[in-house]
Amino acid sequence: MTVDLVIGLAGEAIKATLLLSAPMLIVGLVVGLIVSIFQAVTQIQEMTLTFVPKIVAVLVALIIALPWMINLIVTYTQNLFTNIPMYIR
C-alpha cells in the first residue's frame, strides 16, 4: 500500500462519514435555531423544550434519510471490498 492509497482511503472514509451524519446534524441545527428563537421571543426558558423537538426532528430525519444512507454505505463497502486485491499489492 502506498501513501497515496492510504490517504485516498482515509479521504473516502471521512467523506462517507460526513455525508452520513449531515442530514441529522443539519436538521438538529435548524430545529435548535428555531426553538431558540421561539424561546427568545416568548421568554420561556424551559430546558426540556430544547431537547424534545430536536430529538423528534432528528429521528424523523433519520427515518427519511435512512434508505439513502444505507445505499451510500453499501456502495462504499462494495467499492472497498472490490478493490481489496489492489490494496494488497
Please report, for the chain, the start and end positions of each structural domain, with discontinuous segments joined by +: 3-87
How does 25-59 read in b/e, with b if 16+ C-beta sit within 10 Å? eebbeebeeebeeeeeeeeeeeeeebeebbeebbe
Dist CA 45 CA 49 (whole Å): 8
Dist CA 56 CA 63 (whole Å): 11
Dist CA 14 CA 84 (whole Å): 19
Percent of residues, the chain, with pLDDT higher than 90: 71
- pLDDT digits 0-9 by tens, 14-57: 999 999 999 999 999 999 999 999 988 988 888 788 899 999 99
| Cβ(27)–Cβ(57) below 8 Å | yes
